[in-house]
Structure 1
Amino acid sequence: MPINGNLFASPSRWGRALLTRAVHLGWEGVRRAGSVTAAHPGRLRFRRLGEGTRLAFPQGTVFGEGWIELGDHCIIGEQVTLTAGMMPGLDLGPDPILTLGNGVVLGRGSHVIADTRVTIGSDTYCGPYVYITSTNHSYDDPDQPVGKQWPRTEPVEIGPGCWLGTGAVVLPGARLGRNVVVAAGAVVRGEVPDHCVVAGAPARVVRSWDAAAGWQPPLRTPAPVPLPEDITPEQLLALAAEAEQERRERRPERGE
């Protein structure tokens, strides 16, 4: 019987496999050890670091943490930048500059730049690479490089329960209400009312909630049905299979 060439792996392949596994296990250990929590803050000394809040490792740029308050049970992804003040080492006064409420989520690579007051309400979720800033470059003087002109700063306020999609940008002076949805890539400025969806650059309201008429324009998909708390994995798989079957039955045949 011919011998399969893959039956006996060469020593070099075994060594590579072991090395790969060791690197992965080592990196997981580094990530766990490098994460920041209230019990293990490392070098960072936030004004407040709430219970259950974790900053994933590696962190992005973090400074001015004495003027940064993070609520309870926040999730701060990898490479997230959190800054208070224009540069490290400034005395910013007695009040906090950057405040995150309870349960805030900042996705990987996001930036929150607070040269003046920035507030993010509880249970607001941000996708990856969201950029929130209270500072913008000015270009008043046509004879000076834009980067050398004194910037403008305005407070930013994001209400509770919002969702900011991937790559969204929130500019100085923006005020978002409660449960606002910001589409991916949108650039938000000015005031945004409660319970609406904004999209575009600059962002504009594309859908809003009316107490009498509901969502206008109407939603194109039915509202999801919450799952029972005691559902089993087997029941969940059966529900998924049933939903997939319904989608196939609703899908029009090709050529119609």
Structure 2
Amino acid sequence: MPKYRNTFPSGAAGALAAWRRRALSRAVHRGWRWVQDAGSVTAERPGPYRFRRIGAHTRLAFPLGTVFGERWIELGEHCIVGEQVTLTAGMMPGHDLGPDPVLRLGDGVVLGRGSHVIATREVTIGDDVFCGPYVYITSDNHSYDDPHQPIGRQWPRSSPVSIGSGSWLGAGAVILPGARLGRNVVVAAGAVVRGEVPDHAVVAGVPAKVVRRWDEERGWIPEPRR
């Protein structure tokens, strides 16, 4: 039978090595927290970004995802933008979109880690909209007019998107061009939404459909499971 030896130091040498590993780990984590704090973007510390507006107490976590077209991006007050969130206005950096804002976040919006908001047409997210991680919101989609050409080479179609105040978008939800979500809408995780969604509705599925709605006289239809 092969014999295995303990390759870890023992005694005083082992204790010293363990202390060094713990000290290094603490230093790395403290250093990373310092980098995250120093790299975060606020109205007082915009870094290299020149957003049209950053509201008071809004914070974009470091590291950010892809960000360009800041001149056409407005961020309301008390927003939380997680790590690796992409915010873009225009097809590419340097694209002139005119005098008005294109991407607007209301007050108190939360964008979870890894989410994307892509706007070449107006994308409006109302107050107190909460998004889980990896939500994808876009005003653009590839066209498929010519079946003989690569889809990625065909000019995309664009349509405005609006998300009503107080809504909740679950992890991995996709909001397609032209979507118009009412107030206090719940989008289930992984749902793909297009078209119009009424106020106080719950949508789920691919494509997303209304699975529950609120009626002022009858309450929730159908009633929630107990």
Common topology (TM > 0.5): yes
Q: Could you tell me which of 80, 84, 109 is aligned with 1:79?
A: 84
**Pick aligned residue for 2:171 from 141, 166, 170:** 166
- Matched ranges for 1:1-256 at <5 A: 9-221=14-226
Q: What 5-or-longer segments of structure 1 have no aligned partner?
A: 222-256
Quote the sequence identity (%): 72
Q: Which residue number corresponds to residue 254 of structure 1? A: none
Structure 2: distance between partners of 1:115 and 1:15: 52
Letter in 1 for 2:150: P
How far off is 1:10 after superposition? 2.6
**Structure 1 position 73, deviation (Å):** 0.3
SS in 2 for 1:11: helix
* More RCO (CA 8 Å, sep 6+): 2
| In 2, Cα distance between equivalents of 1:6 and 1:138 | 66
Q: TM-score, normalised to structure 1's length?
A: 0.83
What secondary structure, in the 3-state scheme, does the structure 1 residue paired with 2:210 have? strand
1:220 Cα deviation from its structure 2 partner: 2.4
* Deviation beyond 3 Å, 4+ runs, structure 1: 5-9
Counterpart code for 1:214: G
CA drift of 1:149 comes to 0.4
**Code of the aligned partner of 1:79:** Q
Q: Unpaired runs of 5+ in structure 2?
A: 1-8
Distance in 1 (alpha carbons) for counterparts of 2:109 and 2:142: 28
Distance 1:6 1:184, change over 3 A: farther
**Counterpart residue type for residue 26 of structure 1:** G
C-alpha deviation, 1:97, in angstroms: 0.4
Q: Distance in 2 between matches of 1:214 and 1:7?
A: 69
Relative to the length of structure 2, the TM-score reads 0.94
Aligned partner of residue 10 in structure 1, secondary structure: helix
Q: How many residues align?
A: 217
Cα offsets for 1:91-116 (capped at 9, x unmatched):
11000000000000000000000011
2:177 aligned partner, one-letter code: P
